[in-house]
Amino acid sequence: MSEVLVVVEATREFGVKKVTLEMLTLARGLGTPSAVVLGGPGAAEALSAKLGEYGAAKIYAAESAEIDGHLVSPKATVLAELVTRVQPAAVLLASAQEGKEIAARLAVKLDNGILTDVVGLDADGTATQVVFAGSTIVKSKVTRGLPLVTVRPNSITPEPAAATPAVEQLTVSVSAADKLARVVNRVAEQKGSRPELTEASVVVSGGRGVGTADNFKLVEELADLLGGAVGASRAAVDSGYYPHQFQVGQTGKTVSPQLYIALGISGAIQHRAGMQTSKTIVAVNKDGEAPIFELADFGVVGDLFKVVPQTAEEIRKRR
Amino acid sequence: MNIVVLVKQVPDSGADRNLRTDDNTVDRGSANNVINEMDEYAIEEALKIKEAHGGEVTILTMGPDQATESIRKALSMGPDKAVHVLDDALAGSCAVATSKVLSAALGQLNADLVLCGAESTDGRVQVLPHMIAERLGIAALTGARKLTVDGGTLTIERQTEEGYEVVTAETPAVVSVWDTINEPRYPSFKGIMAAKKKPVQTLPLVDLGVAPAEVGHAGATSAVLEHSKRPPRSSGTKVTDEGAGGTQLVEFLATEKFV
């Protein structure tokens, strides 16, 4: 079977990200997955067990301080060389900022088509995308070159398939042009132990109705009880209640969790764009006419400052 | 500093948007077409840099005839001039071809700094800045929530999942911005009047050295095979809190096995 390259997304703290496991699962529908680790020295070793668990038959490791110290470009150069050498059946990357950027450079280097925000991929390379704020489903295909696709997190359920991957170290030789954008510092900001927004099975979001930054504790408390991530509407972010990286919507993150709980969010199209493909939607809002209720599987018209504490209390009671 | 801002006209993301049934491209005819919102932040950032360091701000747009409206709107915020890449052959261009055309135009404009929005609200593809940087062999500093200019050195705070990265490069470079970077100004009446007289140069493909077969439907590297409207979600149970709303919510979560 032909080889399918999956570019690994991982964090220093939590290791292999769920979207990587989803990509490995998708890749098995097209051929034999090979994981590609692009990172600093020693990056691959900590990840190989997990990658094998989900079917990576091979791991290509490109590990270098040059990759770690520069933005995106060296990764694309290494990947382009690998693609040219092994001629894979497809290349899969995560549909997040960096994955899209590596794919962008790869597309130009190889003069190859690119499809982003893919939620499904057939054996013949036909991709499914959901566009226009989740209102339209598109089937599309790369018509020049190989299927180069970025996969939206939480699109499919990862399925294990044990393999024992052989690790092949890649030589990293990057050009001067690859070293133009230098990463001089990485700063971690608040997140704690919560799952990442785009990967979480449960997302609890707060909107303008939450009222203050301090009141977001209520949103966080419910998220923690359900093992979920915290999100915020644009109105809440613009009001300074919660940081921008947690914004769900048209100009923020797109999430597709099993359960989405909207607290004090009216449900403007800007917000719906980022969450309406969630499996189950629950809303609490004091305005019974709020458009969020048109999407909600279960809605409570009421004061979130009464409903949410009672919800939290009731969940604790049932434990 | 010579700054070029990439501006895209898109269908208003606040209204219903559709794909055409004939050629599967974005339906611009039935939509209210506006400047891609994120691009307004790029224009604002360009104007702030010009105010602090001097120079010139040029708007660069590729799009059909009607994109002129968005160009004038952009100019009313304060940029000096605009270049409109306009050619019938461009309809249906994919991202790869679009980056080729914009790079060719940028090659004629000698920009020190190319500013753009981090993504468009229609495609949300987010690939153009790096495609252009790759073609021009210049740096790309993308996803900026803050940009500092110190002589020829550009430094950004790049928003990431974990926090942010500080990334730096020398000009020339492409910088893409998120809507957290600034608060775009509203065009003044004076600005709107002045925009009508500002020069807008129209560039056909032939002036860019790009063949019609390399762009548009003919040169597309990907194709939409089919599209359909997703069935709208139907609303489920709605209760009014009369003292037991939280409990009822948990009962629902329990039946769905979330608690």
Q: Phi and psi for B49 in degrees, rounded to 5?
A: -65, -40
Which of B38, B155, B252 is opposite residue A251, by nearest beta carbon? Answer: B38
| Alpha-carbon gap: A164 to the closest alpha carbon of chain B (Å) | 30
Helix (H) or strand (E) holding A282: strand A280-285
On the CB side of A60, CA atoms within 13 Å amount to 25
Asked if pLDDT for residue B257 goes beyond 70, the answer is yes
Scanning chain A, the segments in alpha helix (DSSP H) are 18-27, 48-53, 65-68, 73-86, 97-110, 216-225, 234-238, 269-272, 292-295, 304-317
Residue B239 lies in a domain: no
3-class SS shares of chain A: helix, strand, coil, % to 5: 30, 30, 40
Asked if pLDDT for residue A1 goes beyond 80, the answer is no
Q: Looking at residue B232, what is its pLDDT?
A: 83
CATH number of domain containing B176: 3.40.50.620
Asked if pLDDT for residue A191 goes beyond 70, the answer is no
Residue A238 touches chain B, beta carbons under 8 Å: no
CATH code: domain A202-317 is 3.40.50.1220
Buried b (16+ CB within 10 A) or exposed e, A173-186: ebeeebbbbbeeee
Give A148-164 as a DSSP string.
EEEE-TTSS--------
Residue type for B182, please?
A: N
Tell me if the pTM is above 0.90.
Answer: yes
Q: Is the ipTM of this complex over 0.90?
A: yes
Domain ranges of chain A: 3-179, 202-317
| A240 touches A97 (CB < 8 A) | no
Average pLDDT over residues B149-165: 93
Q: How confident is the model at residue A12 (pLDDT cuts 50, 70, 90)?
A: confident
Question: Based on the structure, what is the number of domains in chain B?
Answer: 1
Residue B108 lies in a domain: yes
| Alpha-carbon gap: B193 to the closest alpha carbon of chain A (Å) | 31
Q: Which residues of A touch B238 (CB under 8 A)?
A: 288, 293, 296, 298-301
pLDDT digits (tens, 9 = 90+) for B61-80: 999 999 999 999 999 999 99
Binary contact (A116, B135; C-beta < 8 A): no
pLDDT digits (tens, 9 = 90+) for B186-207: 999 999 999 999 999 999 999 9
Task: Show the domain range for B166.
Answer: 2-219
Query: According to the CATH classification, is domain A3-179 in 3.40.50.620?
Result: yes
Question: In this structure, what token pair is assigned to residue B91?
Answer: 């309809």
Residue B246 lies in a domain: no
Binary contact (A114, B168; C-beta < 8 A): no
Same fold, A3-179 and A202-317: yes
Q: How confident is the model at residue A250 (pLDDT cuts 50, 70, 90)?
A: confident
Q: Nearest Cα to A197, choosing from A248, A149, A134, A147? A: A248
Give the percent of chain B with pLDDT over 90: 86
* Cis ω for the linkage preceding A165 (within 30 of 0): no
Lowest-confidence pick of A297-306, B21-30, B97-106, B141-150: B21-30
| Alpha-carbon gap: B64 to the closest alpha carbon of chain A (Å) | 21
Between strands A32-39 and A58-63, the pairing is parallel
Buried b (16+ CB within 10 A) or exposed e, A228-253: bbbbbbbbbbebebbbbbbbbbbbbb
Residues 187-226 of A with CB under 8 A from B: 187-189, 191, 196-197, 202, 226
Q: How confident is the model at residue B51 (pLDDT cuts 50, 70, 90)?
A: very high
pLDDT digits (tens, 9 = 90+) for A93-127: 999 999 999 999 999 999 999 999 999 999 999 99
CA distance B47 to B70: 17
